[in-house]
Chain A
Amino acid sequence: MEPINIVDSIVTPLNRKNVDTDQIISKEFLKRIERTGFGQYVFYHWRFDENHEKIEEFVLNQPKYDGSTVLVAHDNFGCGSSREHAPWAILDYGFHVIIAPSFADIFHNNCFKNGILPIVLPVKQVEELLEKGEQETLAISIHLEAQTVKAGGKTYSFEIDPYYKKMLINGWDEISLTFQYEEEIAKFEEKSKQFV
């Protein structure tokens, strides 16, 4: 996993609530057996019409947001299925940070496993970012270590679980970390009740 700490970019504003994982990556693209190559399919049915023509108005298709690595969205981002193809597609497309007032649990978890930083900010602040991001190209600077977001002359601070913060900054692989607890796991297995 790539470490992540300081991100300077412009905001891509996706002003929608309840963006579900079916929207992020539609099921027809779930059949690959690799982790990579999903970026081209992200938000497919919002980006392209039935004839696979670009829908120009959709925010990801507007040239002014090209190269952005920070996605800002509204409440309950990533609800629906557990498919990790959703964060894979978002990351592969180029986003490293997602800012929203709230995330669905499984998606939120999946972000940390892939080096994506999900930031929760209060609704008012997110709406500010969305609004400004839609009007102009809004530069944004994120500092994970300091837990700050700077944009439009303001600084916002955010909370993050210290464990996941460390994992993201160091780009650690969680499985190798867990192997350090092997003995405890074995002990647990010995004493635990199993009716199988």
Chain B
Amino acid sequence: MGKNIIEKVWQQHIVHEEAGKPDLLYIDLHLVHEVTSPQAFEGLRLNNRKLRRPDLTFATMDHNVPTQNLPTINDPIAKKQIDTLAENCKEFGVELADMGHPDQGIVHVIGPQLGLTQPGKTIVCGDSHTSTHGAFGAIAFGIGTSEVEHVMSTQTLWQAKPKTLQIEVTGELGFGVTAKDVILAIIAKFGIDVGTGHIAEFTGKAIQKLTMEERMTICNMSIEAGAKAGLISPDDTTVEYLRGRKFAPQGEAFEEATLYWKSLASDADATYDRTVTIDSSEIEPFVTWGTNPSMGTGISKTVPTSSAYSDESDRQALSKALKYMDLQEGTPIEDIEIQHVFIGSCTNSRMHDLRAAAAVIQGGKVAPGVRAIVVPGSYSVKQQAEAEGLHQLFIDAGFEWRESGCSMCLAMNEDVVPAGERCASTSNRNFEGRQGAGSRTHLVSPPMAAAAAIAGHFVDVRKVMNVPV
């Protein structure tokens, strides 16, 4: 019987296997950022331990960094955290892309960009969106700070073998439908805990056709479906993306690696503990209306009414979410007005996303009363966007063009949505207060965000782009 990629990669990384215990799994790449690492480095120091493999560890600064007026950080506690990372990296010999470094950026944007992320690797980071790296056919998952310290000390983790979940996306995506809409539709259809206890593999024709950047958007949000990790089998698209990247193998070693990578793809007769299927024809541009990522619907629809739910606790959740979001049941999604637009985050801040958003502007201007910011995912994305003149398109339309970082995705820096105001955001979480206490987040794709910026409310991007729906 064939094997799926999850089983193959897992099996290859088992250092120790014993009944009654989780597997001791080897970790090939450990990515580090300033928020979840200080206590782990401190643990090493307190226990007089070394960092076992600095060469398999790479650090950057993203969560706290300001996106304007660099390098000044006004918040002294944030500054301390950032300085602490720099000191720790120096002390333990970890390569660091710090503020202003050409490799700096959101940890899940730079890993792939630098070629650190490769098929078949086990990749961890003290950050739940580590699942992004699964787009390459890596087993990549978020860990807590104790586990960060464990990896630093031993380059391994104890991990119970997860179950496998296949999420199949059949058919072809319609015009104006992006990877973001696919993953939002998956979460809305199957729920935010469909993946709990599982690693998910995304399969199907619609997935195979996606570029690497789009695949990253999908895998990024597998954690929002509850999955420990989400991945996609490597293919020619994967290989071509990696060719020539800074930390990817070069020359002959690359060809050798290619053979190995491709051998990891799930076998045609592979099986999974569970399979769910969605057809592309069900998916239209999506907007979330509630306070978790499963509370979303198509742009042509309305905010749901309680009669749509048979379960009492679901009705309560609906009314609680709508109260927080200040929305009425049955309101057409297109009628929801926004005051902020955020294009950025590890979900949607790569070149593909910025190009797709810019394409929607078409000479329009950001609506009066709307503040729209664009935050490239990394320094090098910013450079490239500027080389292509995208920044000018945004600036001319009235968007703010910022330095790279997590920014308004979690509002740890100064980019905050004020209480009671509404934001169309290309990020991944619409939890209460995520973008600032009392803020209201609607998750959308980059083109949908750009279209909303110009209209001042949500609009069907397919109409804006002048193509019949």
Q: Using a CB–CB distance below 8 Å, which chain A residues touch chain B? A: 17-18, 20, 22-23, 26-28, 30-35, 45, 50, 74-76, 79-85, 87, 102, 104-106, 109-110, 113-114, 161-163, 174-175, 178-179, 181-182, 184-185, 188-189, 192-196
Contacts and interface: CB of A to CB of B under 8 A. Distances in A.
B322 interface: no
* Chain B facing A: main interface SS: loop
A104 B196 contact: yes
A122 to B, nearest CB: 15
B433 A102 contact: no
B23 to A, nearest CB: 11
B193 A102 contact: yes
Interface of B: 12, 15-16, 20-22, 24, 26, 28, 35-36, 38-39, 42, 47, 49, 55-56, 63-64, 75, 77-78, 80-81, 84, 118, 126-128, 130, 141-147, 149-150, 153-156, 158, 160, 162, 192-193, 196-197, 226, 228, 247-249, 253, 256-257, 260, 292, 313, 317, 410-412, 419, 429, 431-434, 437-438
Contact of B437 (A18, A50, A83, A85): A50
Contacts of B38: 33
B56 to A, nearest CB: 8
Contacts of B160: 161
B28 A84 contact: no
Given A76-B193, A178-B153, 12 more contacts: A22-B433, A31-B80, A32-B77, A34-B39, A83-B144, A84-B144, A87-B144, A104-B226, A105-B162, A105-B228, A192-B12, A195-B260
B22 A161 contact: yes
Contact of A33 (B26, B42, B438): B42
Given A33-B81, A161-B160, A84 B145 contact: yes
A20 B431 contact: yes
A196 B55 contact: yes
A80 B56 CA distance: 26
Nearest to A178: B154
List 5 tightest A-B contacts by C-beta distance, closest first: A113-B146, A84-B144, A33-B38, A82-B142, A110-B144
Question: Which residue, A45, A81, A179, has most C-beta atoms of chain B within 10 A?
Answer: A81
A45 B435 CA distance: 13
A181 B24 contact: yes
22 contacts: A18-B317, A26-B437, A27-B410, A27-B412, A31-B80, A33-B84, A50-B438, A84-B39, A105-B228, A113-B147, A114-B146, A163-B20, A163-B158, A178-B24, A178-B150, A179-B154, A182-B154, A188-B15, A188-B26, A195-B257, A196-B55, A196-B249
A193 B142 CA distance: 23
Nearest to A194: B28
Nearest to A188: B15
B49 A175 contact: yes
B192 A76 contact: yes
Contact of A105 (B20, B126, B226): B226
A104 to B, nearest CB: 6
